[in-house]
Amino acid sequence: MSHVLEFDSIRLSFGGRMILCDIYMKCETGKITGLLGGNGQGKSCLFKIVYGELGVEEKSVRIDNVSLTKGFMRPDLLRFLPQFDFIPKSFSISRVFDDFELDYRELEKRFPEFASKHRVAVGKLSGGQYRFVQTYVILKARSQFVIMDEPFTHLMPLQIEKVIELIKEEKENKGLLITDHLYRPIMEIADRLYLLTDGKTHPVREFAEMEELGYVAMGR
């Protein structure tokens, strides 16, 4: 079944400086929606607002036209991968998989580097593996939509490829909303792309359009 996540009328300001003012984004089941933007443009804040973590005076977040004010209360509808490590370091991988109702054997079968590591605490994994486990559980757990804030952070190129593979797979069942500083993979996988600049979201298709809007890509 197809679902639609939309949000608009979001206003956020810090100390008199308007961060977000003219926002509209749409995400559907079976589609990857990418959000790009420079540092400090408010991408993470926008995602936190949509998830309900960051309170604002005005916002409208809807799933299938039904208002969702506290997305974090509804993991069946929305899950969120923050840009930092969030799984308690003392938890074993099997505990995490059990909490998210996932089968650890699937991970082991697909990614042999995790073989026989089910009892290892996530904090003992390498930085890349730790991040990969977090991305995996959020992507794979049952939900209608997934918001991912910088999923490629701390990952090696090979791990990034694996995450891209997982994202493409999961889009069959979910709507995915992704932002990252690595614009190339985002542009490659996104079905719909937005650029956030000066507090506004602009639907874009080509890199040239983003440059016209003032986007300076890292490492280009």
Partner 1 sequence: MRLVKKIRLIVHFYKGFCLLSLLITAVCLVLFWEYGFSIFSMLLWLKAATLFLIFRFIKSYKAREFYYYHNLGVSKMVLWAVTLSFDLLVYLILLFQVNRFR
Q: How far is 142 from 207, CA to CA, in rounded Å?
A: 33
Q: How far apart are CA 136 and CA 209, in angstroms?
A: 32
Cβ-based nearer residue to partner 1, 107 or 190: 107
Cα(159)–Cα(171) distance, integer angstroms? 18
**Shortest Cβ 135–partner 1 spacing (Å):** 12
Cα→Cα distances 127→88, 122, 135, 170, 219, Å: 14, 9, 12, 23, 22
Q: How far is the CB of 193 from partner 1 (least distance, A)?
A: 26
> Which residues in the 83-122 window bind partner 1 by CB under 8 A?
84-88, 98-101
Number of residues that bind partner 1 (CB under 8 A): 22
Q: Does 69 sit near partner 1 (CB under 8 A)?
A: no
Q: Which of 26, 75, 211, 213 binds partner 1 (CB under 8 A)?
A: 75
- The three-class DSSP label of residue 127 is helix
Give the shortest CB-44-to-partner 1 separation in angstroms. Answer: 12
H helices of 30-92, in order, are 43-51
| Among 5-13, 35-43, 81-89, 111-119, the segment contacting partner 1 (CB under 8 A) | 81-89
Residue type for position 72:
F
Q: Interface residues with partner 1 (CB under 8 A)?
A: 51, 53, 70, 72-76, 79-80, 82, 84-88, 98-101, 138, 141
